[in-house]
Structure 1
Amino acid sequence: MGSTSVIVGIHGLANKPPVDEKTRWWRAAIAEGLIRNEGLSDPHFAFEFVYWADLRYDAPLREESNREPYRRHGGAGPLPGEDEAPALTEKVVLAPLYAGIDRLEETTGVTLVDDAILEYRFDDLWYYHAERDFARDVRARLAARLRACRHRRILLVAHSMGSVIAYDVLRLLEREDPALRVEHLVTVGSPLGLAKVKLKIEAEHGAARVPANVARWTNLADGHDVVAIMGTLDEAFAPSDAGLRVVDRRVVNTYSRPDGGRNHHKSYGYLRTPELSRIARAYATSSGGA
């Protein structure tokens, strides 16, 4: 199974450690989940990582400046899953409030709230939408990697802003390379539900819908992740022409910084959730586990 399938990852917002380190940490987080949640003793899987931080930042994040390295979660056994997800505390207030603003912004086309969110909280995403050359170069990296893997079963895992890049690339490939297929798209901590993002999608690609070149789309969101403020995407994206819908799953992102602080948006926490491990299991083999 290993040579015929591949997991392709693309990172999200902000500067990152050097590409080799970031690639190694993503692989380690996925493997940690497969071991703890799926019982694989020594998981093997082909992994390709799309790194684009160097197109935005002059130098990688140095070790002494990195407050959020990959760290294994303490203890043993399966990690908390959807059934153990906490109540949606701040989003009980924020999500309905933003939903009303979101509908108003989509109706009027005036996105002052989203502009402020994107510029001051998600600066890279704001830049992606404002600078065409940057967007073209970032998209080209993912498109080239997908084309290189076109004869394999592709699981595409896109975190944060990477989910916006992945969506745009898939919609472009529908037209430019219609034979290319992604077996499973998994978006994690995605801002695709923001009105500003949906308006950009509609302006470039037409109606916001599930891309025709994916066989499945699963969206994972932690209830306390402010980047994925809308949480679910099924209502925001119409089904594909084949009737495929987004499947939303609420998860528990267990990532903690070395200083003990939590980050419910961190990629490593998402990559080891039982919900992602269950999907990744179909793309991995084990030398001696279940």
Structure 2
Amino acid sequence: MARVVAVHGIGKQTLGEESLRKEWLPALNDGLTRAGAAAVRLAEPDVAMAFYGDLFRPPGEFLAVGDPPYTAADVAEGFEQELLQAWWQAAAASDPAVVPPGADTLVSTPRSVQAALRALSGSRFFAGVALRAMVFDLKQVHAYLTDPVLRAKALARVADQIGEDTQVVVAHSLGSVVAYEALCAQPGHQVRTLVTIGSPLGIENLILHRLQPAPLTLDGPPRAVWPGPEGLVWANLADEGDVVALVKDLRSAFGEQVRCAIVRNGARAHDAVAYLTDALCGRAVADGLA
């Protein structure tokens, strides 16, 4: 089995294992170089991509191209509207060009959903992202957390790649949720280091409470299960402008042993490659492979 298992994030439904590995492998090696660990160079057999994006891809049919033609009206009440609202608030907090949502513009009507999508489309974070792609991203997160069949299939894709030789798991965006749950489901795994980048795991009301296994909530704030043995090292990296990683510090939810850090990805705040090439990511991977 591969020494490093990579787990991609949302919006990769039109790609696949090989295309994503070709993107991630050089970025991982660049991160190792930035960390002064160029000697720990990864080759193709060292990295496996746990791909689950096709589970969200609509069945093909003639004369249909790309994502479904979603509009603001397709953003469902409840989870999807609440997550859209959270993205809008986070984007406004980090980008002066984004008009913040007011008390009278909560995302609860088609008109306010349209306002949120319009505001986000003008942000640095979502620049160049089509409206239908934004809505599709919302629906992917929602589907994973609420569709038990899809969730089980995605978890199986990750679990199948993690073997006795796997030392490091690097997971991006929604993939960090899948990787976390997959590791929790394998209590005897031999993974040394979990690296989460651009992770939404700390969003309490929308993500944290829906994790499997569920966090403990007996006294004080919810405390989630640790995804492995005590010796597991967990590094969590977040860009200040990454609206998907709304909660940058995971320690209150997962324990003080999570090593949380802020990185600077510039205009590519949520981009996986930007995270992977950072020296802090490279150091975490190198330590796990040492």
Give the TM-score, by structure 2 length: 0.65
Structure 2: distance between partners of 1:183 and 1:129: 26
Q: Could you tell me how far 1:224 is from its partner in structure 2?
A: 0.7
Structure 1: distance between partners of 2:24 and 2:59: 20
Q: Contact 2:234–2:258 at 8 Å: present in 1 too?
A: yes
CA offset digits 1:49-68 (Å, max 9, x no partner): 101111111489xxx98xxx
Q: Could you tell me how far 1:44 is from its partner in structure 2?
A: 3.1
Aligned twin of 2:106: none
CA offset digits 1:193-243 (Å, max 9, x no partner): 11221111277465413223361111000111010111110112236xxxx
Alignment pair present for 1:201 and 2:217 = no
Q: Could you tell me how far 1:182 is from its partner in structure 2?
A: 1.5
Alignment pair present for 1:190 and 2:203 = no
Q: Which amino acid is 1:161 matched to?
A: L
Identity %: 25
Q: Could you tell me how far 1:121 is from its partner in structure 2?
A: 5.5
Aligned twin of 2:238: 221
Is the alpha carbon distance of 1:180 and 1:203 closer, same or farther for their aligned partners in structure 2, counting shifts above 3 Å?
A: closer
Q: Contact 1:43–1:284 at 8 Å: present in 2 too?
A: no
Alignment pair present for 1:249 and 2:261 = yes
Q: Contact 2:167–2:289 at 8 Å: present in 1 too?
A: no
Q: Contact 2:181–2:227 at 8 Å: present in 1 too?
A: no
Structure 1: distance between partners of 2:59 and 2:33: 34
Structure number with the bigger relative contact order (C-alpha 8 A, sep ≥ 6) is 1
Structure 2: distance between partners of 1:199 and 1:136: 18
Is the alpha carbon distance of 1:40 and 1:124 closer, same or farther for their aligned partners in structure 2, counting shifts above 3 Å?
A: same
CA offset digits 1:125-160 (Å, max 9, x no partner): 1110121110000001111111xx21x251110100
Unaligned regions of 5+ residues in structure 1, if any?
Answer: 66-87, 98-115, 240-244, 255-261, 286-290
Aligned Cα RMSD in Å?
3.6
SS of 1:35's equivalent in the other structure is helix
2:38 to 37, 40, 53: 40
Q: Contact 1:44–1:284 at 8 Å: present in 2 too?
A: no
SS of 2:154's equivalent in the other structure is helix
Q: Which amino acid is 1:266 matched to?
A: D
SS of 2:155's equivalent in the other structure is helix
How many positions carry a matched residue from both structures? 220
Q: Contact 1:8–1:48 at 8 Å: present in 2 too?
A: yes
Alignment pair present for 1:273 and 2:290 = no
Show the 5 A alignment for 1:1-290. 6-14=3-11, 15-38=13-36, 40=38, 43-45=41-43, 46-58=46-58, 90-91=93-94, 122-146=138-162, 149-150=163-164, 152-174=165-187, 179-195=188-204, 196-201=206-211, 204=214, 206=216, 207-213=223-229, 215-238=232-255, 245-254=257-266, 262-282=267-287
